[in-house]
Chain A
Amino acid sequence: MSTLRLVWIVLTKELRDGIRDRRSILSVLIVAALMPSLFGGMFTVMASRSKNAEEIKLPVAGVENAPAFVDWLKQQPGVEIVGAPADPEKAVRDRKEDVVLIIEKDFSRNMVRAVAAPVKLLSDSTRESARQKVNRARTLVTTYSSQLAALRLIARGLAPSVALPVRVEEVEVSSAQERLATQLNILTLLLVIAAVTGGMQIAIDTTAGERERGSLEPLLLNPVPRIALAAGKWLAASVFGCSAVVFSMLLTVNVLRRVPWQDMGIRFRVSDGDLMSLLGLVLPLALFLSAVVMFASTFARSFKEAQGYMGMLILLPLFPGVISMLYPLSNRPWLAPIPVFGQYALAADVLGGKPPVATIYVLAGVSALTCALVLVALTSRLLEREAIIFGR
């Protein structure tokens, strides 16, 4: 009987067995559903904060000390001036207010004498959520100050540029799409998590679980080459891994499309073609990761022991993902043949609107598949070992 036919028999049996394991399937689905919702929520909060910074309510104490300044503030777009609480410092410390502007008594007097007029900006720098609002308030004050400075110079017959020896002109070289991509790397990370966790249960169950139950020895008594057993089990885990990836992608994209990106000044535009490219990248990776999990769990005598290994193993795909969020891996096509790293790098390019050429995808896919096959072959060698077959 051909080896392929045997692989098919093992694969269908493991799939049937795996699908009946409702509890693990449910846990995979919950993880796959929870993560996108979490990040969707996170992005929505970020978006609403930038929106808050655009339209701020600024509590000002001592309005009567600088009517002209307050009038100017009121004219700025998206700024609403409200009365300050009785004890501004306490209010900020108690987190009742994000920021309070205090105009000191001497403001008008100093202004007239051309001495620096004092204002206080109260804020709490440990509060991440208030940061954008505080920045906006600070910018408002410095803008007023420099406008006034320019007017004073003109009044004295000097060009405002005299007081500005150096002018900074910021040039942004990344496209809006690329800036979005750094946020969207999270999508790749979620897909990779799905690729690992999706096949994990079944990969453990068909190796460490098989040893723990004592069903490995009877299975090996059948006239079947070990490679057919390893391949069938690997493919079964891969089917689960790939399904989890597709499920996670559909869910994540639907969640991300609902995030109000325009509030962050970003247009969310990920085409179906991009998504297909991502799948083309991550699905071979799912085959590789399933092989890694299967190989590692074959060493474990029990399900529990294998799960202990998984705690460490899951860091393998997560580590480059976290790295890629800190140090973008985009524009590094030479990473393609390195599984996991390559996928993160290429995915960043796809999401950045600079999709790599087709051969690079093929290279990444072939490389991941080759590594997977090597691991499957190694697993089949493990199944020859007496310590693995009989060690319980």
Chain B
Amino acid sequence: MIEIRGLRKKFGAVEAVRDVSFGAGDGTVVGLLGPNGAGKTTTLRMLSGLMRPDVGTIRVDNVDVVVDPIGVQTHMGLLPDSRGLYPRLTPIEHIEYFGRLHGLGGPALTARTRALVTRLDLNEIADRRVSGFSQGERTKVALARALVHQPRNVILDEPTNGLDVMSTRAMRELIHGLRRDGCCVLFSSHIMQEVSALCDRIVVIAQGKVTADGTPDELRSLTGRDNLEDAFVTLSGLEENS
């Protein structure tokens, strides 16, 4: 469960996040939708505990991220914007490294690693060094290591970026699976179709502010547009510019 209230963050003179508040409950999938540069990644970075908000509070499972970042990270799996891997390690070694850092070990870690490799269809490349991997393969490895500790809260920053059709489908399957398991899933995207296909709720963010928050149907009726894409354009304030 994630609760974000009155978040603000400035970088020098640029106000990247001006007013962001929303919540995400367990067993739901929430999409953070917004155009490029809207403040999605900055919001997620503050949620991860690596960036301090100037103003506002973030609570995950009722733990304040600023007060106890490690306590929050223990139950959070985050696929960040940067998916850097270690070129000389194999996918299995990546997953196990992060698993150990979460305190896993022994047969439990081996079993968990195997399960993730199978679920993300990494079997064929599981023991190869990642240096020559494609974008999609790299994303899968990054995702697997983020989920190794079976987090209750899963946050994915543009998870389908650079993925082909089959991998995108697999990612959707995974997100559905996480919801079935009762996880709280929050993911960001700038692609309308993806959000509408997956989300129970959509939070639209534009120029650092939340401009709408509701189910896909609510957003459609709010804007008076039947097409969700049109609704998104209206809510993002993109119309005036074009």
A→B interface (CB under 8 Å): 1, 6, 9-10, 13, 16-17, 20-21, 210, 213-218, 220-225, 386, 389-390, 392
A9 near B45 with CB under 8 A, answer no
Give complex CA distance A214, B41 in Å: 15
B→A interface (CB under 8 Å): 45, 48, 50-52, 70-71, 73-74, 76, 78, 80-89, 93, 97-98, 100-103, 129, 142, 145-146
B48 cross-chain contacts in A, Cβ below 8 A = 221
Across the interface, name the chain A residue whose C-beta is closest to B71.
Answer: A223
B84 near A223 with CB under 8 A, answer no
Closest Cβ of chain B to A319, distance in Å, is 35
B101 near A6 with CB under 8 A, answer yes
Residues A215 and B86 in contact in the complex (CB < 8 Å), given A1-B103, A9-B100, A221-B80? yes
A218 near B50 with CB under 8 A, answer no
B70 near A223 with CB under 8 A, answer yes
A218 near B84 with CB under 8 A, answer yes
A223 near B50 with CB under 8 A, answer no
16 pairs, CB–CB < 8 Å, chain A vs chain B: A1-B103, A9-B97, A9-B100, A17-B89, A215-B82, A218-B80, A218-B82, A218-B142, A221-B73, A221-B76, A221-B78, A222-B73, A222-B101, A223-B70, A223-B101, A386-B52
A214 near B50 with CB under 8 A, answer no
Closest Cβ of chain A to B45, distance in Å, is 7
Across the interface, name the chain B residue whose C-beta is closest to A387.
Answer: B11
A221 near B146 with CB under 8 A, answer yes
Closest Cβ of chain B to A226, distance in Å, is 10
A392 near B82 with CB under 8 A, answer yes
Across the interface, name the chain A residue whose C-beta is closest to B79.
Answer: A218
B101 near A9 with CB under 8 A, answer yes
Closest Cβ of chain B to A117, distance in Å, is 78
A17 near B82 with CB under 8 A, answer no
Residues A213 and B86 in contact in the complex (CB < 8 Å), given A1-B103, A9-B97, A223-B101? yes
Across the interface, name the chain A residue whose C-beta is closest to B46.
Answer: A386
Give complex CA distance A223, B70 in Å: 5
Give complex CA distance A386, B46 in Å: 10
Judged by DSSP, the binding face of A is: helix
Residues A217 and B97 in contact in the complex (CB < 8 Å), given A222-B73, A223-B73, A389-B50? no
Across the interface, name the chain A residue whose C-beta is closest to B48.
Answer: A221
B70 near A217 with CB under 8 A, answer no
Give complex CA distance A218, B94 in Å: 11
A386 cross-chain contacts in B, Cβ below 8 A = 50-52
B93 cross-chain contacts in A, Cβ below 8 A = 13, 16
A213 near B101 with CB under 8 A, answer no
In order of increasing CB-CB distance, the 8 nearest A-B pairs are A215-B84, A214-B84, A214-B82, A213-B84, A222-B101, A20-B88, A223-B73, A223-B70
Residues A216 and B80 in contact in the complex (CB < 8 Å), given A221-B146, A224-B101? no
Give complex CA distance A210, B50 in Å: 16
Across the interface, name the chain A residue whose C-beta is closest to B148.
Answer: A222
Contact of A225 among B70, B76, B129 (CB under 8 A): B70
Residues A216 and B101 in contact in the complex (CB < 8 Å), given A221-B48, A223-B73, A386-B52? no
B86 near A17 with CB under 8 A, answer yes
Give complex CA distance A17, B86 in Å: 8
Closest Cβ of chain A to B2, distance in Å, is 15
Contact of B80 among A10, A210, A217, A392 (CB under 8 A): A217
B81 cross-chain contacts in A, Cβ below 8 A = 217
Give complex CA distance A214, B85 in Å: 8
Across the interface, name the chain A residue whose C-beta is closest to B97.
Answer: A13
B129 cross-chain contacts in A, Cβ below 8 A = 20
A17 near B88 with CB under 8 A, answer yes
Give complex CA distance A223, B72 in Å: 8
A222 near B102 with CB under 8 A, answer yes
B70 cross-chain contacts in A, Cβ below 8 A = 223-225
B82 cross-chain contacts in A, Cβ below 8 A = 214-218, 392
B88 near A223 with CB under 8 A, answer no
A215 near B98 with CB under 8 A, answer no
Contact of A217 among B50, B74, B86, B145 (CB under 8 A): B50
B102 cross-chain contacts in A, Cβ below 8 A = 222-223
A221 near B50 with CB under 8 A, answer yes
| Contacts A20-B88, A215-B84 known; 18 new A-B pairs at CB < 8 A | A10-B101, A13-B97, A21-B88, A213-B86, A214-B83, A215-B85, A216-B82, A217-B80, A217-B82, A218-B80, A218-B83, A218-B98, A220-B50, A222-B73, A223-B71, A223-B74, A386-B51, A392-B82
A217 cross-chain contacts in B, Cβ below 8 A = 50, 80-82, 84
Give complex CA distance A6, B99 in Å: 11
Give complex CA distance A17, B74 in Å: 25
Give complex CA distance A390, B97 in Å: 22
Give complex CA distance A215, B93 in Å: 14
B84 near A210 with CB under 8 A, answer yes
Give complex CA distance A218, B142 in Å: 8
A221 cross-chain contacts in B, Cβ below 8 A = 48, 50, 73, 76, 78, 80, 146
A218 cross-chain contacts in B, Cβ below 8 A = 78, 80, 82-84, 98, 142, 145-146
B45 cross-chain contacts in A, Cβ below 8 A = 390
Closest Cβ of chain A to B114, distance in Å, is 20
B89 cross-chain contacts in A, Cβ below 8 A = 13, 16-17, 20
